[in-house]
Amino acid sequence: MSGEHMQIGEVAARTELSLRTIRHYEETGLVIPSARSQGGFRLYTEADVARLMVIRRMKPLGFTLDEMRDLLTATDRLDGGDRLPATEHEQLLDRVRHFEEAARRRVADLRVQLARAEEFAATLRRRLPTA
């Protein structure tokens, strides 16, 4: 296997996603393998791995598959190398800004939840006799 293509097992190990999850993201159109081997095996590139990492990072923040698709579409257009009309470029950047703001808010919410969970664990710990 050449260094530029990876089979799904290697991608799963690198992204810490299950084979089933990667296949699900393929079925929903979030990531498409860049190639297929002669035997029909999915082959992925570093760009595919990077795309899966974006998805993996969005999931715990509660973004939906449609939201993931929306962000990926925007970043694909921005990174596509084509010269975009200024209005479209700005609209795409606004979309990315929207996701960055949403991610920041969701991270803050998770920090509050974590603090509450830590308080709860500490409360339980104080109820236990010390050894």
Strands (E), 1-131: 6-7, 35-36, 42-44
Averaged pLDDT, 93-120: 98
Residue 60 per-residue DSSP state: G
Highest mean pLDDT pick, 1-5, 37-41, 64-68 = 64-68
In Å, how far are 33, 83, 118 from 23, measured between CA atoms?
A: 10, 33, 35
* Structure-token match 């095996």, residue found: 41
| Count of Cβ atoms closer than 10 Å to residue 31 Cβ | 24
Q: Distance (Å, rounded) from C-alpha 79 to C-alpha 58?
A: 19
Q: Distance (Å, rounded) from C-alpha 130 to C-alpha 101?
A: 44
Assess whether pLDDT exceeds 60 at residue 122: yes
Residue 82 per-residue DSSP state: S
Assess whether pLDDT exceeds 80 at residue 30: yes
Assess whether pLDDT exceeds 80 at residue 4: yes
